[in-house]
């Protein structure tokens, strides 16, 4: 029986779907470091992770039998995608499934910070009745600056505008503004005009340390700051200094440069205990609805890939989906050089079979061809295909009916 290993408390629907597809599934609550992951992958065909487990080239080299990897989250910067492709491992993620959850949390935190509800809550829990409007504002009519206008940033733009906020955005790519949102030509322009700044950038290496003392100093005095994107993009020491000086009136931070691996592990941060600061443990996308949708979506992609060779929405392999009803199917991941498909089809003909359906796609150095044939695949043909010098991984599907 093939095996699947799911880490980091992935929603049970993923285990249910993989189990129904014939996998023996083991689920663990926490992340694993590189050494532990290498040991745990012995005999594993499918791996599921979230954001904390680092899957390196060494991991792929140590487990050549790994077929697919599911990132049950948005980002994939924790995975060496080039090494995965070279090892013939298809990687899938869930780029849209928790967008709404993150956006709703950002909207909630903007309102909470503007009303200084964090301080009011702490005071009342401490037994102090502090009924005052001092420092408390409506969000209507105020200016929100969104850094990163992707799926999350653009949806946040729409909801913020519905609340009566003016919306500015800045993105490295040329993005179409939604509603009445206004594009800023530079990050500096956005920081100087916005009263609340929220980060929704991706995990590319170039974003590391993008927001530090210089950027906080450019923000308007008594403005608000949110980061629900990646922990390594913000200098927390600089944020602390600007909160203590009063330049920044409040902040909400959901992601941190160093995060505990498991629930219950100790958490340290220079932002702890600061006034009007909301700290949350990387839960922007962690609603029950979002995690269920992510579990269902990514597990479904893994099942489609291992059951029929479908790579639709894979982040590292050419995208192929072949619909047919032939006797057998094979999928060949190969080096992208001229003439491979011709040699494949010649081998099929030499073994007395016809090609009933075929799709080829290429992506950089790799090509991926899925082929339906007219009868059962003979072992001699399978061995001949595997022996092709350009072959990276061959997968066969008996009586797929796909």
Average pLDDT over residues 331-338: 97
205 pLDDT band, cuts 50/70/90, is confident
**So what's the pLDDT on residue 10?**
96
Average pLDDT over residues 357-381: 95
**For residue range 153-191, what is the model confidence (pLDDT) as tens digits?**
999 999 999 999 999 999 999 999 999 999 999 999 999
350 flagged as catalytic: no
230 flagged as catalytic: yes
For residue 339, what are the CA distances in angstroms to 86, 296, 310, 369? Answer: 20, 38, 23, 12
- Active-site residue identified among 115, 116, 230, 334: 230
User: Which range (56-65, 108-117, 233-242, 259-268) has the least confidence?
Assistant: 259-268
Ordered alpha helix ranges (H), 236-287: 236-244
- Position 401 pLDDT exceeds 60: no
- Domain residue spans of the chain: 1-97+288-315, 99-279, 318-402
- Position 402 pLDDT exceeds 50: no
Q: Do domains 1-97+288-315 and 318-402 have the same CATH topology?
A: no
Per CATH, is 1-97+288-315 categorized as 3.40.50.720? Answer: yes
pLDDT-above-70 percentage for the chain? 99
Average pLDDT over residues 214-232: 97
- Tokens 């390196």 label which residue? 56
- Position 95 pLDDT exceeds 80: yes
- Active-site residue identified among 259, 335, 390, 393: 259
Taking Cα atoms as reference points, which of 286, 277, 236, 276 lies closest to residue 256? 236
**So what's the pLDDT on residue 400?**
45
**So what's the pLDDT on residue 12?**
97
75 pLDDT band, cuts 50/70/90, is confident
- Position 47 pLDDT exceeds 70: yes
**So what's the pLDDT on residue 326?**
67
**So what's the pLDDT on residue 261?**
80
Strand partners, 331: 370, 395
- Position 111 pLDDT exceeds 70: yes
Average pLDDT over residues 356-384: 95
- Position 29 pLDDT exceeds 70: yes
CA gap 41, 60 in Å, rounded? 10
CATH architecture of the domain formed by 318-402:
2-Layer Sandwich (3.30)
Q: 384 — phi, psi (to 5°)? A: -65, -40
- Active-site residue identified among 3, 282, 296, 351: 282
Question: What DSSP line would sit under 325-382, residue for residue?
Answer: --SEEEEEEEE--TTHHHHHHHHHHHTT--EEEEEEEEETTEEEEEEEESSPPPHHHH
Query: Does pTM surpass 0.85?
Result: no
- Position 21 pLDDT exceeds 80: yes
CATH superfamily of the 99-279 domain: NAD(P)-binding Rossmann-like Domain (3.40.50.720)
104 flagged as catalytic: no
**For residue range 266-287, what is the model confidence (pLDDT) as tens digits?**
999 999 999 999 999 999 998 9
């Amino acid at each position: 029986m093939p095996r699947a290993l799911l880490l980091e408390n992935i929603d049970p629907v993923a285990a249910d779907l993989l189990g129904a597809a014939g996998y023996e599934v083991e689920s663990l609550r926490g992340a694993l470091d590189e050494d532990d992951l290498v040991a745990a992958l012995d005999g594993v065909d499918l791996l599921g992770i979230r954001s904390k487990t680092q899957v390196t080239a060494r991991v792929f080299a140590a487990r050549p039998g790994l077929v697919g990897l599911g990132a049950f989250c948005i980002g994939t910067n924790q995975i060496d995608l080039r090494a995965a492709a070279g090892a013939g491992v298809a990687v899938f993620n869930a780029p849209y499934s928790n967008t709404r959850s993150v956006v709703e949390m950002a909207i909630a935190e903007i309102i909470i910070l503007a009303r200084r509800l964090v301080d009011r809550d702490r005071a009342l829990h401490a037994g102090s009745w502090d009924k005052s409007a001092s420092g408390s504002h409506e969000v209507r009519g105020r200016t929100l600056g969104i850094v990163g206008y992707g799926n999350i940033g653009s949806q946040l733009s729409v909801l913020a505008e519905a609340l009566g906020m003016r919306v500015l955005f800045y993105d490295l790519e040329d993005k179409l503004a939604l509603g009445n949102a206004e594009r800023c030509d530079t990050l500096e322009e956005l920081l100087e005009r916005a009263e609340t700044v929220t980060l929704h950038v991706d995990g590319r290496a170039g974003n590391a340390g993008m927001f530090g003392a210089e950027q906080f100093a450019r923000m308007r005095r008594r403005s608000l700051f949110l980061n629900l994107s990646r922990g390594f993009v913000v200098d927390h020491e600089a944020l602390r200094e600007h909160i203590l000086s009063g330049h920044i009136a409040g902040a909400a931070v959901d992601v941190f440069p160093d995060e505990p691996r498991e629930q219950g592990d100790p958490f340290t941060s220079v932002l702890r205990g600061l006034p009007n600061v909301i700290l949350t443990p990387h839960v922007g996308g962690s609603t029950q609805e979002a995690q269920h949708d992510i579990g269902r979506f990514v597990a479904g992609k893994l099942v489609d890939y291992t059951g029929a060779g479908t790579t639709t929405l894979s982040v590292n392999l050419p995208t192929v989906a072949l619909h047919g009803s032939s006797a057998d199917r094979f999928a060949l991941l190969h080096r992208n050089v001229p003439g491979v498909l011709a040699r494949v089809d010649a081998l099929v003909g030499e073994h007395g079979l016809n090609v009933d359906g075929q799709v080829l796609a290429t992506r950089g150095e790799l090509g991926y061809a899925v082929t339906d044939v007219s009868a059962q695949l003979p072992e001699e043909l399978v061995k001949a295909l595997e022996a092709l010098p350009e072959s990276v991984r061959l997968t066969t599907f008996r009586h797929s009916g796909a």
